[in-house]
Structure 1
């Protein structure tokens, strides 16, 4: 049950990011606003999430995990209800910032609690599950939002997020104890946070694994942002057929996360990341070749999409766990930096693909290849620094 609560916490933020994207036209019409203002509600949520992660990590290193975690969940709960009742887009923008702050608290502190309570193979197993759910959540969120819209209206999407927050709140109240004893807490404010960040940035292995995840997220979000155009406009698939392919890819990622969680009991996480990166890189290059030389045929695009998305389940959880293992004594700050790196990289992928144009699959393919190459480069760098063993766990 503890794993279920922590997994739910890791999913609320990504789900709230874009679950209501399918309802944009409906929201814009009801609130008498423009499409550009609706796009700002996503930006507002990202700003809130980034702010929440920056504050939550170091605050929890100082005060403990439970208090800040409860505050973040309550804030997300109340802001979600507020979004559901928002009378204007201006109210919605403010409440989306607050919702993002609460979601950022949950994402960071869920990981920090896990790091406090587990180590070794158990840490890698549960981190794979959490990261798998957290990684697939923003992909399936629009699909879930679309399902809700079949039976209700856009406001009910936010009520669903509020219900998830309430479930998480009850789970933390009754199942999650304080995981950071007073003897392990660090005094200080923002200056201490900056000092802790500087400490982690000097640890090559931590930074390398953080960037492995960040640029894998870049490749993944390039797919998310442009795949609908490629599949529907270029290949001529219907929206239903696209949704089915999207769901298959998402389930592949979830499945690989669960498989990876089991395999970490007998296989070192680096080996799993290596396999994942090799498969993703080959798939991205095949998409690039298909875009340049073969006029983007479906028999290249659809398998390339699947083998770009599914193996991410072997990368995110293991990369996050290996990085977190290097930041155990300041887990809150380490978790915040992991979340910021992931969110920042993912958030810039879509506009970069858009700037390059949407007249072909080439911009998306290039972005995916670049993300894979940079992620693989940092994986090699992490291996060169892996001779440094963490004294807390005995693992590299």
Structure 2
């Protein structure tokens, strides 16, 4: 019998890097949108579709690749998918038209989803209890670095080159992910623990997990937390700069501070794992989210929302979100012991579904009111708090 691999600090670092595929592939090239539109003769809305296509691919890819990794093993799915991701990333540098660019972004999302869904499954395959919570928290902390590092790196590259140079660096990152996965990531799912192949088996795993009230509740809490954070992220440029008059530098610093709150929350969560029950940390995080939602709403309705209070609310929200998402995912995957790839896929699908709902709802009221953002955050936080309160103790 092959010895079980160990979740070493080095392996955890590699898995964290692979899980950060989303922030790297989205945030690094956002500053290049206007150049892409000009050089490819595309409308701004068409360039926006490159982001939509990637996110759609990430959500769909998790639903496909998660169950597949339960059937054939984690490593082959991860390496093959990242090979496609690297190839699509290289081809994207030479995109001759916006249509080709959009198609490659969809392929990139579908294949890059493996970095998220399989890495999370491997981490929980090789750990349990407090160790699993620490692993998920540290992965989430590294992913949280993406929004801090990717935009300035992308902007710096843009000052030295053009949008294709930014994509070339992204392609280099994709190749690095493939090489690291091929060399350092072992197979974490023994043959005897794999599920039978076939679509029916995958659908059966989904049905079984969704029939588990505890898993379903934790999946919803996980998605609601992400939805609340995404509604803040999508509305923050308008609330911060248009309504409150924050200069671009101040806004960037404030946004970075809120991202840092998620990193600090996950560091704290990793440190307290095993000493404080995960369900209690989940409830604490949901309570912080609810506090932020109430404060956002009351401050806006009373006309007391200022730059300092906006930053404080955002810091509280993202810190609470970090605690909720790490503990909800660790607890949910512990319940999906026989199908962690499928469980990770459902978590990712719920996350992207809530994120895709929040942004258009918040944006539908225009850029001169913070009320939709405040109410959406409050609604998601209240439901997440109720779910955390009812979460099964394990």
Instruction: Determine the C-alpha separation between the residues in 2 that align with 1:143 and 1:223.
Output: 20
Tell me which residue corresponds to 1:210: 219
State the shift of 1:136 in Å.
5.3
Measure, in 1, the Cα distance between the counterparts of 2:201 and 2:328. 26
Q: Residues 295 and 255 from structure 1, CA distance in 2 versus in 1: closer, same or farther, beyond 3 angstroms?
A: closer
Q: How far is 1:284 from its partner? A: 1.7
Contact 2:133 2:273 in 1 (8 A): yes
Shift, 1:82, TM fit: 1.4
Give the match for residue 253 of structure 2.
244
Q: Distance in 2 between matches of 1:230 and 1:124?
A: 34
The reply on whether 1:34 has 2:43 as its aligned counterpart is: yes
Query: Matches of 1:254 and 1:158 in 2, distance apart?
Result: 27
Matched-pair contact (CA < 8 Å) for 1:18–1:42: no
Change (3 A) 1:150 1:311: farther
Instruction: Please point out which of 77, 80, 96 is paired with 2:89.
Output: 80
1:63 corresponds to which of 57, 66, 72: 72
Alignment partner of 1:157: what SS? Answer: helix
2:328 matched residue in structure 1: 319
- 1:372 Cα deviation after fit: 0.5
* Aligned counterpart, 1:341: 350
Q: For 1:287, which of 290, 296, 303 is the aligned residue?
A: 296
- The alpha-carbon deviation at position 339 of structure 1 amounts to 0.8
Give the conservation status (yes or no) of the 8 Å contact 2:242–2:368: no
Size of the alignment, in residue pairs?
A: 385
Partner of 1:298: 307
Please name the residue that 2:316 is paired with: 307
Which among 83, 96, 99 is matched to residue 105 of structure 2?
96
- How many angstroms apart in 1 are the aligned matches of 2:323 and 2:102? 35
Matches within 5 A, 1:116-195: 116-135=125-144, 137-138=146-147, 141-195=150-204
Task: Measure how far apart 1:191 and its partner are.
Answer: 1.4
Verify: 1:374 aligned to 2:394, yes or no: no
Retained in 2: the 8 A contact 1:143–1:243? Answer: no
Distance in 1 between residues matched to 2:161 and 2:318, nearest whole Å: 30
Structure 1 contact 281–372 (Cα < 8 Å) conserved: yes
Uncovered stretches (5+) of structure 2, i.e. residues with no partner? 1-9
**Counterpart-to-counterpart distance in 2, 1:139 and 1:285:** 27
Structure 1 residue 301, shift from structure 2 partner: 1.4
The two structures have a TM-score, normalised by structure 1, of 0.93
Residue in 2 aligned with 1:4? 13
Instruction: Give the distance between the partners of 1:237 and 1:59, measured in 2 at CA.
Output: 47
More moved, 13-22 vs 303-312: 13-22
CA distance in 2, matches of 1:161, 1:209: 33
Give the alignment's Cα RMSD to 1 decimal. Answer: 1.6
How far has the Cα of 1:31 moved from its partner?
0.6
Partner residue of 1:390? none
Partner residue in 2 for 1:19 = 28
Whole-Å Cα distance in 1 between the matches of residues 361 and 142 of structure 2? 26
| Contact 2:246/2:307, CA 8 A, preserved across alignment | no
Equivalents in 2 of 1:184, 1:156: separation in Å? 44
Kindly indicate whether residue 255 of structure 2 is the aligned counterpart of residue 255 of structure 1: no
The alpha-carbon deviation at position 326 of structure 1 amounts to 0.4
Q: What are the ranges of 5 or more consecutive residues in structure 1 without an aligned counterpart? A: 387-395
Aligned to 1:393: none
Does residue 357 in structure 1 map to residue 379 in structure 2? Answer: no
Q: What SS is found at the alignment partner of 1:285?
A: helix
Q: For residue 183 of structure 1, give the secondary structure of its aligned residue in structure 2.
A: helix
Distance 1:162 1:257 in 2: 29
Q: Shift of the alpha carbon at 1:141?
A: 4.1
Q: Distance in 2 between matches of 1:276 and 1:175?
A: 34
Over 3 Å counting, the alpha-carbon distance change for 1:148 and 1:258 in structure 2 is farther
Aligned to 2:20, the other structure's residue is in SS state helix
For residue 211 of structure 1, report the CA deviation from its aligned partner: 1.1
Shift of residue 350, structure 1, vs aligned partner: 0.8
Q: Which deviates more, 15-24 or 188-197? A: 15-24
**Which SS does the other structure have where 2:245 is aligned?**
coil
The equivalent of 1:229 in structure 2 is 238
How far apart are the structure 2 equivalents of 1:286 and 1:135?
A: 24
| Native 8 Å contact 2:147 2:259 kept in 1 | no
Q: CA deviation at 1:105?
A: 1.5
